[in-house]
Amino acid sequence: MADAAATDAHLPRWSKALLVIGAVLLALVLLLVLFPWDMLRGPVNRYVSQKTGRHFEITRRLDVKLGRTTRVLMDGIEFANPDWAQDRFLVKADAAEVDVHLLPLLLHRRIELPLVKLTKPELGLQVEPDGRRTWALGSDTKDEKNVPQIGAMVVDQGTAHYVAHAQGADVRAEFAMRREAAGNPASLPLQFKASGRWKDQPFNAEGRTGDVLSLNGPQRHPFPAEVRLTADSTSLRANGSIANLAELDGADVRFQLGGQDLAQLYKLVGVVLPNTPRYAVAGHLTKQGEVWTVSEIDGRLGRSDMAGTLAFDQGGSRPSLQGQLRSRMLDFEDLAPVIGIKDDPAAKKAAAKVAAATPAGKKPKKPKDPNRKVLPDTPLDVSRLKTMDADVRIDASRIVNAKGMPLDRMAVHVHLKNGLLVLDPLDLGVAGGQLAGSMRIDANAKPVRVQARLDGRDLVMSKLVPASKTMRESIGKLQAQIDLAAGGTSVRQLLGSSSGRLAVLMGEGEISNLLLEFAGLDGGEILKFFTEGDQRVQVRCGVAAFDVQNGLMTSRALLFDTTDTMFNGAAKINLATEGLDVYMQARPKDKSILSLRSPLKITGTFGDLHPSLDKAALAKRAAAMVGLSAVNPLLALLATVETGPGRDADCQGIMKAAAAPRAEARVEQTAPPVAGAGGKSVPVPTSRMGAGPAPGAEDKRADASADKPRTASAREELTPQGTPKAANAP
């Protein structure tokens, strides 16, 4: 009975204790809820100013809503910047609402602000190259722990000034909210205008965005935006959304970009692109991780069009570019700055002035300059080849304005790795035919090293030099082989230091007979031209093969054989000085009178050629004419009679010897057919490399052995008699 009484007495005491505790907690809650937080405004201002080392003040009223995520309401706020900053205030606003996660702040001193709302703010944001930031809230502005993690920011209207010297950035922005559109995730209620410098380039921008900006982590909804930007001559219009603004991940943007020069984008975004004429391009931009992708490209570069897809990966040790570009028409003038060809407006203006002053129907005669250089000497800028890698395919279906080059189309696979640029395969449409192979450019070498290995097939003669009327009326196809290696900083230096082999081969065709007769000064055949008109002569074969050593081209074989005349000679061409020394000897196959045939010499430079006839040979003919005229004036004509001692050359043998081994099989298809039974020609069967001569070819080679072309060494040229003599390189 006593125990029961004690128990009954004890229970009320616990109940009273619980009631007291509950009452205290309730009082504390009521106190916290009803606490006049504004009384702490002064102490809070002093405490924050002391801890941060800069002025902080809540100017009108303070209120706090406690919880795991505590909400701090400030009516009027001023928070100064450090002394080293340009702007006085980090933030100055009519009102601010800041959510704070208490546990990370109390346990780890980590400042997490999931939401910041500002009313009419003025923001002054600045970051220095040494890591100091104005928005770091501790006395040490380099310490990452003092940088608040802001989840989302909402503003209505105000201004912002951002300065980052390391980025060359000094940006001022104004923004304002359209209240009627707020709350709709798909709307663009916040309008803005910005101007200043980015990457030290002036720019202006304006547009619209969403109202809730997530600065850390993904957006609750993708952040929409419309932007119109101009930077110098570059303009951008874009609209789309970004899922994660902090890392620009999940970008999905449609854009239109235009400007004077693609290379200017390197200053703005760091993407290496060549110098170009004015461009305009539209496309679809996305970003996943470190990979930016531009698809549905539709643009113009000068007069050229382009389409395709490009992907730029910033994730590796070196940025890389991959993709494919296609063009229906490529204007070669748009690529002139890339390959070092100058576009001289002053020269064009001077030429136009001369043309305007010239009477109609008369062409101005250009004065010859023996020192004029033809090969481009503009320095090739290869420094950017070391800043990124690339794997891009380029296909141009049609090429125009190829600077006098008979370039029709282009397809190339561009490989760039660690400063080594490889174009393989390289497939060019040249003069109705094909020039294919590979090229290597090593930007790591000093000077830059270039290697080219190219084969030309079915190059149409009439298209090779379209400005020449004689060539336009010629019929025939050429084969070519180029194996060269060089070093230099311009096209002229590269050619002037090149070494290797070069060969051009021609099979059957037709060429102007007048050209051949003038080359040999055959007066009788020239008279036929005036009475019967020019007639094309059948070409059996042509060979021009050179060994190249340090820019000096020395002929290995130089032959042009027609049914009328065989031309045999030697040549030296110095690509470093642009000098040349060519010696061609004509051996006619027909009889003619009034012939003063003499070996043809061409000297001078690429910009100032000097063709002439061998004076010694002409002197012999003249002496014979004088001697015979002393006996009888009519006998003087005997010295001009051409008996036609020339014979057909062994075209197939000479072409196989001149060609590179890899082209030997093609030579048999290019060379003229050999004579068969009854005098009829039969085609030469295609054989594998190293196979013996075709049946019936041995006798023909034996008959033509006397007329095989002599090959001059690096210090020799052919004399009129066909024997070598010493000569200096041009």
Least confident residue range of 2-6, 30-34, 166-170, 489-493? 2-6
In the predicted model, what is the mean pLDDT of residues 681-703?
34
pLDDT of residue 205: 93
Residue 16 pLDDT > 80, yes or no? no
pLDDT at 370: 61
Q: Is the pLDDT of residue 637 over 50?
A: no
- 221 or 157, which is more confident: 157
pLDDT at 398 over 50: yes
* Ranges 465-469, 562-566, 581-585, 726-730, most confident: 581-585
Taking each helix axis as running N to C, give the angle between helix 513-520 and helix 523-532, from 0 to 180 degrees, rounded to the nearest 10: 150
DSSP per-residue string spanning 516-583: HHHHHTBHHHHHHHHHH---EEEEEEEEEEEEEETTEEEEEEEEEEESSEEEEEEEEEETTTTEEEEE
Average pLDDT for residues 651-663, to the nearest whole number?
A: 63
3 state SS of 661: helix
Write down the pLDDT at residue 593.
Answer: 45
Taking a C-beta distance cutoff of 8 angstroms, is the pair 575, 562 a contact? Answer: no
pLDDT tens, position by position, 586-601: 777 655 544 445 677 8
- Per-residue exposure over 19-31, b if at least 16 CB sit within 10 Å of its own CB, e if not: eeeeeeeeeeeee
Asked if 196 and 169 touch (Cβ cutoff 8 Å), the reply is yes
Residue 698 DSSP SS3: helix
Please check the confidence at residue 538 and state whether its pLDDT lies above 90: no
pLDDT of 541-582, one tens digit each?
Answer: 888 889 999 999 999 888 888 777 777 888 999 999 888 898
SS (HEC) of 595-623: ECCCCEEEEEECCEEEEEECHHHHHHHHH
What is each CA distance from 617 to 127, 205, 548, 586, 669, in whole angstroms? 84, 78, 30, 12, 38
pLDDT at 727 over 50: no
Residue 1, pLDDT above cutoff 50: no
Tokens of 315: 């994730």
Which residues are within 8 A (CB) of 20 and not within 5 positions of it... i.e. 6 or more apart?
none
- What tokens does 548 get? 């190249």
pTM: 0.62
With 70 as the cut, is the pLDDT of residue 683 above it? no
| pLDDT at 667 exceeding the cut of 70 | no
Tokens of 541: 């074969």
Pairing of strands 420-430, 407-417: antiparallel
Q: What is the mean pLDDT of residues 345-359?
A: 52
pLDDT-wise least confident of 113-117, 345-349, 578-582: 345-349
Please calculate the CA angle 262-268-270 and round it to the nearest 5 degrees.
80
Mean predicted lDDT score pLDDT of the chain? 74
Highest mean pLDDT of the ranges 68-72, 497-501, 667-671: 497-501
Instruction: Note the pLDDT of residue 181.
Output: 47
Q: What pLDDT score does 548 carry? A: 94
* Inter-residue contact 229 to 219 (CB < 8 Å): no
C-alpha–C-alpha distance, residues 160 and 124, integer Å = 6
Pick from 12-26, 345-359, 401-415: least confident: 345-359
Q: How far is CA 112 from each of CA 71, 101, 150, rounded to the nearest angstrom?
A: 12, 6, 6
Q: What is the pLDDT confidence band of residue 373, given thresholds at 50, 70 and 90?
A: confident
Among residues 610, 581, 584, the alpha carbon closest in space to that of 728 is found at 581
Cα–Cα distance, 493 to 577 (Å, whole number): 10
Lowest average pLDDT, out of 275-289, 362-376, 423-437, goes to 362-376
Percent of the chain scoring above 90 in pLDDT: 26
At 517 the pLDDT is 46
Task: Answer yes or no: is pLDDT of 122 > 50.
Answer: yes
Which residue would you say has higher pLDDT here, 610 or 183? 610
- Whether the Cβ atoms of residue 566 and residue 649 lie closer than 8 Å to each other: yes
Q: Which pLDDT tens digit goes with each residue over 278-319?
A: 889 999 999 888 899 999 999 988 888 989 999 999 887 888
For 343-369, what is the mean pLDDT?
53
pLDDT at 179: 60
**The two three-digit tokens of residue 209, written as one number:** 């965005």
**Cα Rg of the chain (Å, integer):** 42
User: Poorest-confidence range of 290-294, 362-366, 473-477?
Assistant: 362-366
Q: Which residue has the higher pLDDT, 539 or 678?
A: 539
Lowest mean pLDDT among 100-104, 207-211, 508-512: 508-512
* Most confident option among 395-409, 445-459, 574-588, 670-684: 445-459
Query: What is the mean pLDDT of the segment spanning 128-142?
Result: 84
pLDDT-based confidence at residue 623 (cuts at 50, 70, 90): low
Per-residue pLDDT at 60 exceeds 60: yes
pLDDT, mean of residues 603-618: 71
